[in-house]
Structure 1
Amino acid sequence: MSQHHQTAAPSPTARRTRRVIIDAAIETLALNPAATLAEIADAGDLSRSTLHRHFTNRDDLLSAIDAECRARFAAATSAARLGDDGALDSLDRLAQEYLDLGPVLGLVFADNAPVDPDTWEDSDGRDQDLVAMIERGQQAGTGPDIDPELSPDWVITTFWVLLFGAWLSLKNGMSRRDVAMHLSRTFRKAVGTGT
Protein backbone atom coordinates (compact mmCIF):
# COMPACT_ATOMS: atom_id res chain seq x y z
CA MET A 1 0.00 0.00 0.00
CA SER A 2 1.50 3.29 -1.07
CA GLN A 3 1.25 6.29 1.11
CA HIS A 4 0.71 9.71 -0.35
CA HIS A 5 2.02 12.69 1.50
CA GLN A 6 -0.22 15.66 1.13
CA THR A 7 0.81 19.10 2.09
CA ALA A 8 -1.75 20.49 4.46
CA ALA A 9 -3.44 23.66 3.31
CA PRO A 10 -2.27 26.69 5.25
CA SER A 11 -4.45 27.63 8.18
CA PRO A 12 -6.53 30.82 8.01
CA THR A 13 -4.07 32.41 10.43
CA ALA A 14 -1.11 31.47 8.23
CA ARG A 15 -2.89 32.86 5.16
CA ARG A 16 -3.64 36.13 6.99
CA THR A 17 -0.02 36.41 8.17
CA ARG A 18 1.26 35.77 4.67
CA ARG A 19 -1.09 38.48 3.36
CA VAL A 20 0.17 40.94 6.02
CA ILE A 21 3.77 40.23 5.02
CA ILE A 22 3.10 40.67 1.29
CA ASP A 23 1.12 43.89 1.85
CA ALA A 24 3.82 45.27 4.15
CA ALA A 25 6.51 44.34 1.61
CA ILE A 26 4.65 46.06 -1.23
CA GLU A 27 4.18 49.24 0.83
CA THR A 28 7.77 49.24 2.11
CA LEU A 29 9.53 48.36 -1.14
CA ALA A 30 7.46 50.91 -3.06
CA LEU A 31 9.03 53.60 -0.87
CA ASN A 32 12.47 51.99 -0.64
CA PRO A 33 13.33 49.13 -3.03
CA ALA A 34 16.45 48.42 -0.95
CA ALA A 35 14.47 47.87 2.28
CA THR A 36 15.65 44.92 4.34
CA LEU A 37 13.55 41.96 5.45
CA ALA A 38 13.79 43.33 8.98
CA GLU A 39 12.27 46.65 7.83
CA ILE A 40 9.48 44.76 6.06
CA ALA A 41 8.79 42.71 9.20
CA ASP A 42 8.68 45.93 11.25
CA ALA A 43 6.25 47.50 8.75
CA GLY A 44 3.96 44.49 9.13
CA ASP A 45 4.34 44.59 12.94
CA LEU A 46 5.77 41.08 12.83
CA SER A 47 8.92 39.45 14.12
CA ARG A 48 11.63 38.61 11.65
CA SER A 49 11.29 34.92 12.57
CA THR A 50 7.60 35.06 11.58
CA LEU A 51 8.54 36.53 8.21
CA HIS A 52 11.17 33.79 7.73
CA ARG A 53 8.66 31.05 8.54
CA HIS A 54 6.67 32.19 5.50
CA PHE A 55 9.52 33.32 3.23
CA THR A 56 12.93 31.77 3.68
CA ASN A 57 14.73 34.51 1.77
CA ARG A 58 14.26 37.77 -0.12
CA ASP A 59 13.88 36.00 -3.49
CA ASP A 60 10.95 33.94 -2.16
CA LEU A 61 9.28 37.10 -0.92
CA LEU A 62 9.92 38.97 -4.20
CA SER A 63 8.41 36.07 -6.12
CA ALA A 64 5.26 36.24 -3.98
CA ILE A 65 5.12 40.03 -4.39
CA ASP A 66 5.43 39.68 -8.16
CA ALA A 67 2.55 37.16 -8.22
CA GLU A 68 0.40 39.46 -6.06
CA CYS A 69 1.13 42.49 -8.25
CA ARG A 70 0.32 40.47 -11.34
CA ALA A 71 -3.02 39.47 -9.81
CA ARG A 72 -3.79 43.09 -8.88
CA PHE A 73 -2.98 44.31 -12.40
CA ALA A 74 -5.21 41.58 -13.85
CA ALA A 75 -8.08 42.55 -11.52
CA ALA A 76 -7.65 46.24 -12.43
CA THR A 77 -7.65 45.41 -16.14
CA SER A 78 -10.83 43.38 -15.72
CA ALA A 79 -12.48 46.17 -13.72
CA ALA A 80 -11.71 48.64 -16.53
CA ARG A 81 -14.12 46.75 -18.84
CA LEU A 82 -11.95 47.25 -21.90
CA GLY A 83 -13.97 47.30 -25.07
CA ASP A 84 -17.29 48.23 -23.42
CA ASP A 85 -17.26 51.44 -25.43
CA GLY A 86 -14.75 53.55 -27.35
CA ALA A 87 -11.04 52.91 -27.10
CA LEU A 88 -10.31 56.30 -25.52
CA ASP A 89 -12.90 55.76 -22.76
CA SER A 90 -11.58 52.24 -22.17
CA LEU A 91 -7.96 53.39 -21.88
CA ASP A 92 -9.00 56.24 -19.58
CA ARG A 93 -10.79 53.75 -17.30
CA LEU A 94 -7.73 51.48 -17.39
CA ALA A 95 -5.48 54.37 -16.33
CA GLN A 96 -7.82 55.16 -13.43
CA GLU A 97 -7.92 51.51 -12.32
CA TYR A 98 -4.12 51.28 -12.50
CA LEU A 99 -3.81 54.53 -10.53
CA ASP A 100 -5.75 52.85 -7.72
CA LEU A 101 -3.01 50.20 -7.48
CA GLY A 102 -1.04 52.76 -5.45
CA PRO A 103 2.13 51.22 -4.03
CA VAL A 104 2.12 48.50 -6.70
CA LEU A 105 2.88 51.30 -9.17
CA GLY A 106 5.74 52.34 -6.90
CA LEU A 107 7.23 48.88 -7.36
CA VAL A 108 6.84 49.02 -11.13
CA PHE A 109 8.23 52.55 -11.50
CA ALA A 110 11.10 52.28 -9.00
CA ASP A 111 14.73 52.36 -10.10
CA ASN A 112 15.80 48.70 -10.39
CA ALA A 113 12.11 47.82 -10.13
CA PRO A 114 11.45 44.63 -8.18
CA VAL A 115 8.30 44.07 -10.28
CA ASP A 116 8.37 44.15 -14.09
CA PRO A 117 5.07 43.52 -15.91
CA ASP A 118 7.02 42.92 -19.13
CA THR A 119 8.27 39.62 -17.68
CA TRP A 120 4.78 38.23 -17.08
CA GLU A 121 3.81 35.41 -19.43
CA ASP A 122 0.72 37.14 -20.79
CA SER A 123 2.28 40.60 -21.18
CA ASP A 124 2.67 40.21 -24.98
CA GLY A 125 -0.96 39.14 -25.34
CA ARG A 126 -2.12 42.00 -23.14
CA ASP A 127 -0.16 44.49 -25.26
CA GLN A 128 -1.58 42.98 -28.45
CA ASP A 129 -5.10 43.38 -27.05
CA LEU A 130 -4.37 47.06 -26.32
CA VAL A 131 -2.90 47.56 -29.81
CA ALA A 132 -5.99 46.00 -31.41
CA MET A 133 -8.29 48.18 -29.29
CA ILE A 134 -6.30 51.33 -30.17
CA GLU A 135 -6.39 50.44 -33.85
CA ARG A 136 -10.18 50.02 -33.65
CA GLY A 137 -10.34 53.42 -31.96
CA GLN A 138 -8.42 54.92 -34.87
CA GLN A 139 -10.74 53.53 -37.54
CA ALA A 140 -13.19 55.68 -39.42
CA GLY A 141 -16.86 54.72 -39.38
CA THR A 142 -18.56 56.21 -36.38
CA GLY A 143 -15.56 58.48 -36.10
CA PRO A 144 -12.22 57.68 -34.54
CA ASP A 145 -11.72 58.58 -30.89
CA ILE A 146 -7.93 58.06 -30.88
CA ASP A 147 -5.78 60.16 -33.20
CA PRO A 148 -5.08 57.96 -36.25
CA GLU A 149 -1.77 59.78 -36.84
CA LEU A 150 -0.32 58.28 -33.64
CA SER A 151 1.10 54.77 -33.66
CA PRO A 152 -0.44 52.35 -31.14
CA ASP A 153 3.01 51.96 -29.51
CA TRP A 154 3.14 55.74 -29.02
CA VAL A 155 -0.32 55.73 -27.44
CA ILE A 156 0.71 52.92 -25.05
CA THR A 157 3.97 54.70 -24.18
CA THR A 158 2.04 57.93 -23.54
CA PHE A 159 -0.36 55.98 -21.30
CA TRP A 160 2.53 54.66 -19.14
CA VAL A 161 4.43 57.97 -19.02
CA LEU A 162 1.32 59.82 -17.87
CA LEU A 163 0.56 57.09 -15.33
CA PHE A 164 4.09 57.49 -13.97
CA GLY A 165 3.52 61.24 -13.64
CA ALA A 166 0.20 60.61 -11.90
CA TRP A 167 1.86 58.22 -9.45
CA LEU A 168 4.59 60.79 -8.70
CA SER A 169 1.93 63.44 -8.08
CA LEU A 170 0.13 61.14 -5.64
CA LYS A 171 3.41 60.36 -3.92
CA ASN A 172 4.11 64.10 -3.61
CA GLY A 173 0.78 64.75 -1.89
CA MET A 174 -1.65 65.78 -4.63
CA SER A 175 -5.15 64.55 -3.87
CA ARG A 176 -6.39 61.38 -5.58
CA ARG A 177 -9.30 63.34 -7.05
CA ASP A 178 -7.05 65.99 -8.59
CA VAL A 179 -4.56 63.45 -9.91
CA ALA A 180 -7.37 61.42 -11.51
CA MET A 181 -8.77 64.53 -13.21
CA HIS A 182 -5.37 65.68 -14.47
CA LEU A 183 -4.51 62.20 -15.73
CA SER A 184 -7.79 61.85 -17.61
CA ARG A 185 -7.73 65.31 -19.19
CA THR A 186 -4.08 65.08 -20.20
CA PHE A 187 -4.39 61.60 -21.67
CA ARG A 188 -7.54 62.46 -23.62
CA LYS A 189 -5.96 65.63 -25.04
CA ALA A 190 -2.67 63.87 -25.83
CA VAL A 191 -4.07 60.95 -27.84
CA GLY A 192 -7.73 61.75 -28.52
CA THR A 193 -9.16 63.22 -31.69
CA GLY A 194 -10.85 66.04 -29.79
CA THR A 195 -14.21 65.25 -31.34
Structure 2
Amino acid sequence: MHRSTTDLSPTARRTRRLIVEAAIETLAGDTSAALAEIAKAADMSRSTLHRHFTDRGDLLAAVDEECRTRFARADEAARLGEGGALNSLDRLAQEYLGLGPVLGLVFADNALVDPDAWTEGEERVQALLGVITGGQDDGELDPELTPDWVLTTFWVLLFGAWLSLKTGTSRRDVGVQLSRTLRRAVGLGGR
Protein backbone atom coordinates (compact mmCIF):
# COMPACT_ATOMS: atom_id res chain seq x y z
CA MET A 1 0.00 0.00 0.00
CA HIS A 2 1.42 3.35 -1.06
CA ARG A 3 1.74 5.65 1.95
CA SER A 4 1.71 9.41 2.02
CA THR A 5 5.14 10.85 2.71
CA THR A 6 3.73 13.69 4.80
CA ASP A 7 3.46 11.41 7.83
CA LEU A 8 7.07 10.25 7.59
CA SER A 9 10.17 11.53 9.32
CA PRO A 10 12.67 13.49 7.22
CA THR A 11 14.99 10.45 7.24
CA ALA A 12 12.22 8.14 6.02
CA ARG A 13 11.24 10.63 3.28
CA ARG A 14 14.88 10.82 2.16
CA THR A 15 15.17 7.00 2.11
CA ARG A 16 11.96 6.70 0.07
CA ARG A 17 13.24 9.35 -2.34
CA LEU A 18 16.50 7.43 -2.80
CA ILE A 19 14.60 4.19 -3.45
CA VAL A 20 12.27 5.82 -5.97
CA GLU A 21 15.20 7.49 -7.77
CA ALA A 22 17.07 4.17 -7.90
CA ALA A 23 13.91 2.48 -9.20
CA ILE A 24 13.52 5.05 -11.98
CA GLU A 25 17.15 4.65 -13.03
CA THR A 26 17.10 0.85 -12.81
CA LEU A 27 13.70 0.26 -14.41
CA ALA A 28 14.50 2.67 -17.26
CA GLY A 29 17.17 0.20 -18.30
CA ASP A 30 15.22 -2.97 -17.52
CA THR A 31 11.50 -2.80 -16.78
CA SER A 32 11.62 -6.31 -15.33
CA ALA A 33 14.38 -5.52 -12.82
CA ALA A 34 13.85 -7.24 -9.48
CA LEU A 35 13.39 -5.38 -6.22
CA ALA A 36 16.77 -6.74 -5.13
CA GLU A 37 18.42 -4.92 -8.06
CA ILE A 38 16.65 -1.71 -7.14
CA ALA A 39 17.71 -2.05 -3.49
CA LYS A 40 21.30 -2.60 -4.62
CA ALA A 41 21.15 0.47 -6.88
CA ALA A 42 19.82 2.49 -3.93
CA ASP A 43 22.71 1.16 -1.84
CA MET A 44 20.44 -0.36 0.79
CA SER A 45 19.18 -3.74 1.88
CA ARG A 46 16.04 -5.39 0.54
CA SER A 47 14.56 -5.28 4.02
CA THR A 48 14.95 -1.48 4.04
CA LEU A 49 13.26 -1.27 0.66
CA HIS A 50 10.43 -3.50 1.92
CA ARG A 51 9.97 -1.34 5.03
CA HIS A 52 9.11 1.53 2.70
CA PHE A 53 7.42 -0.36 -0.14
CA THR A 54 5.60 -3.58 0.65
CA ASP A 55 5.72 -4.92 -2.90
CA ARG A 56 6.59 -4.08 -6.50
CA GLY A 57 3.16 -2.54 -7.12
CA ASP A 58 3.60 -0.19 -4.19
CA LEU A 59 7.00 0.92 -5.49
CA LEU A 60 5.70 1.31 -9.06
CA ALA A 61 2.89 3.54 -7.77
CA ALA A 62 5.49 5.78 -6.12
CA VAL A 63 7.58 5.78 -9.31
CA ASP A 64 4.52 6.75 -11.34
CA GLU A 65 3.73 9.55 -8.89
CA GLU A 66 7.31 10.88 -9.11
CA CYS A 67 7.26 10.73 -12.91
CA ARG A 68 3.96 12.58 -12.91
CA THR A 69 5.51 15.29 -10.74
CA ARG A 70 8.51 15.59 -13.05
CA PHE A 71 6.31 15.85 -16.14
CA ALA A 72 4.25 18.57 -14.44
CA ARG A 73 7.43 20.52 -13.64
CA ALA A 74 8.60 20.14 -17.25
CA ASP A 75 5.21 21.31 -18.55
CA GLU A 76 5.37 24.37 -16.33
CA ALA A 77 8.97 25.18 -17.24
CA ALA A 78 8.19 24.96 -20.97
CA ARG A 79 5.72 27.87 -20.73
CA LEU A 80 3.52 26.55 -23.52
CA GLY A 81 1.97 29.29 -25.59
CA GLU A 82 4.65 31.90 -24.88
CA GLY A 83 6.78 33.09 -27.77
CA GLY A 84 5.07 31.23 -30.59
CA ALA A 85 4.23 27.63 -31.35
CA LEU A 86 7.65 26.45 -32.57
CA ASN A 87 9.41 27.93 -29.56
CA SER A 88 6.80 26.39 -27.25
CA LEU A 89 7.12 22.93 -28.80
CA ASP A 90 10.91 23.20 -28.80
CA ARG A 91 11.02 24.24 -25.12
CA LEU A 92 8.69 21.39 -24.21
CA ALA A 93 10.80 18.88 -26.15
CA GLN A 94 13.93 20.11 -24.38
CA GLU A 95 12.25 19.93 -20.97
CA TYR A 96 11.02 16.41 -21.66
CA LEU A 97 14.46 15.40 -22.92
CA GLY A 98 15.79 16.58 -19.57
CA LEU A 99 13.61 13.98 -17.84
CA GLY A 100 16.25 11.40 -18.84
CA PRO A 101 15.46 7.99 -17.37
CA VAL A 102 11.79 8.89 -16.94
CA LEU A 103 11.59 8.75 -20.74
CA GLY A 104 12.96 5.21 -20.51
CA LEU A 105 9.91 4.28 -18.46
CA VAL A 106 7.58 5.94 -20.98
CA PHE A 107 9.20 4.54 -24.13
CA ALA A 108 9.99 1.01 -22.91
CA ASP A 109 8.40 -1.94 -24.70
CA ASN A 110 6.49 -2.69 -21.52
CA ALA A 111 6.03 0.94 -20.52
CA LEU A 112 5.73 1.41 -16.77
CA VAL A 113 4.64 5.04 -17.04
CA ASP A 114 1.91 6.38 -19.32
CA PRO A 115 1.47 10.17 -19.18
CA ASP A 116 -1.76 9.87 -21.17
CA ALA A 117 -3.28 7.77 -18.37
CA TRP A 118 -2.85 10.52 -15.77
CA THR A 119 -5.81 12.79 -15.15
CA GLU A 120 -3.84 15.73 -16.51
CA GLY A 121 -2.81 13.67 -19.57
CA GLU A 122 -5.85 14.78 -21.56
CA GLU A 123 -5.25 18.39 -20.48
CA ARG A 124 -1.64 18.08 -21.69
CA VAL A 125 -2.77 16.75 -25.07
CA GLN A 126 -5.40 19.48 -25.45
CA ALA A 127 -2.88 22.19 -24.52
CA LEU A 128 -0.41 20.87 -27.10
CA LEU A 129 -3.09 20.63 -29.77
CA GLY A 130 -4.09 24.21 -28.95
CA VAL A 131 -0.52 25.40 -29.41
CA ILE A 132 -0.28 23.48 -32.69
CA THR A 133 -3.54 24.78 -34.17
CA GLY A 134 -2.65 28.29 -33.03
CA GLY A 135 0.72 27.96 -34.74
CA GLN A 136 -0.96 26.78 -37.91
CA ASP A 137 -3.42 29.69 -37.78
CA ASP A 138 -0.49 32.10 -37.30
CA GLY A 139 1.40 30.64 -40.27
CA GLU A 140 4.24 29.35 -38.10
CA LEU A 141 3.44 25.63 -38.39
CA ASP A 142 2.69 23.74 -41.57
CA PRO A 143 -1.11 23.90 -42.03
CA GLU A 144 -1.07 20.90 -44.36
CA LEU A 145 -0.16 18.65 -41.44
CA THR A 146 -2.99 17.65 -39.14
CA PRO A 147 -2.54 18.69 -35.50
CA ASP A 148 -2.57 15.01 -34.48
CA TRP A 149 0.24 14.34 -36.97
CA VAL A 150 2.31 17.18 -35.54
CA LEU A 151 1.72 15.86 -32.02
CA THR A 152 2.71 12.34 -33.06
CA THR A 153 5.81 13.73 -34.80
CA PHE A 154 6.74 15.54 -31.58
CA TRP A 155 6.62 12.27 -29.59
CA VAL A 156 8.42 10.23 -32.28
CA LEU A 157 11.24 12.78 -32.40
CA LEU A 158 11.45 12.73 -28.62
CA PHE A 159 11.68 8.93 -28.74
CA GLY A 160 14.53 9.20 -31.26
CA ALA A 161 16.27 11.74 -29.05
CA TRP A 162 15.96 9.41 -26.05
CA LEU A 163 17.44 6.55 -28.11
CA SER A 164 20.38 8.79 -29.03
CA LEU A 165 20.95 9.62 -25.36
CA LYS A 166 21.00 5.89 -24.59
CA THR A 167 23.75 5.33 -27.15
CA GLY A 168 25.94 7.91 -25.46
CA THR A 169 25.38 10.98 -27.62
CA SER A 170 25.77 14.05 -25.43
CA ARG A 171 22.67 15.74 -24.06
CA ARG A 172 23.71 18.96 -25.75
CA ASP A 173 24.14 17.36 -29.18
CA VAL A 174 20.86 15.49 -28.89
CA GLY A 175 19.08 18.67 -27.84
CA VAL A 176 20.45 20.60 -30.81
CA GLN A 177 19.48 17.87 -33.26
CA LEU A 178 16.03 17.48 -31.71
CA SER A 179 15.38 21.21 -31.98
CA ARG A 180 16.58 21.43 -35.57
CA THR A 181 14.60 18.40 -36.69
CA LEU A 182 11.41 19.45 -34.91
CA ARG A 183 11.55 22.96 -36.38
CA ARG A 184 12.14 21.67 -39.91
CA ALA A 185 9.60 18.87 -39.66
CA VAL A 186 6.59 20.91 -38.60
CA GLY A 187 7.51 24.56 -39.11
CA LEU A 188 7.30 26.71 -42.21
CA GLY A 189 10.39 28.85 -41.50
CA GLY A 190 12.95 26.17 -42.43
CA ARG A 191 11.47 25.45 -45.88
- Equivalent in 146, 149, 156 of residue 144 of structure 2: 149
Mark the CA change 1:118 to 1:8 in structure 2 (over 3 Å): closer, same or farther. closer
Deviation per CA, 1:107-158, whole angstroms, max 9, x where unpaired? 0000111111111011112111111111110114xxx111111111101100
- Equivalent in 187, 190, 193 of residue 188 of structure 2: 193
Give the structure 1 partner of residue 58 of structure 2: 60
- 1:68-83 matches, within 5 Å, as 68-83=66-81
- Secondary structure (helix, strand or coil) at the match of 1:122 reads helix
Counterparts of 2:68 and 2:6 in 1: how far apart (Å)?
26
What CA RMSD, in Å, does the superposition of the two structures yield over aligned residues?
1.2
Deviation per CA, 1:17-54, whole angstroms, max 9, x where unpaired? 00000000000000010100000000000100000000
Instruction: Single out whichever of 13-22 and 82-91 deviates more from structure 2.
Output: 82-91
**If each structure's helix is expressed as a fraction of its own residues, which one has the higher value?**
2
Structure 1 residue 9: deviation in Å?
A: 1.9
- Secondary structure (helix, strand or coil) at the match of 1:82 reads coil
Q: Aligned pair 1:166/2:164, yes or no?
A: no
Equivalent position amino acid for 2:117 in 1: T
**Normalized against structure 1, the TM-score is what?**
0.93
Alignment size in residue pairs: 186
Larger radius of gyration: 1
Q: Aligned pair 1:13/2:11, yes or no?
A: yes
Mark the CA change 1:8 to 1:111 in structure 2 (over 3 Å): closer, same or farther. closer
Deviation per CA, 1:35-75, whole angstroms, max 9, x where unpaired? 00000000000100000000000000001100100110000
- Equivalent in 84, 87, 90 of residue 88 of structure 2: 90
- Equivalent in 93, 103, 107 of residue 105 of structure 1: 103
Instruction: Single out whichever of 72-81 and 117-126 deviates more from structure 2.
Output: 117-126
Give unmatched runs, 5+ long, in structure 2. none
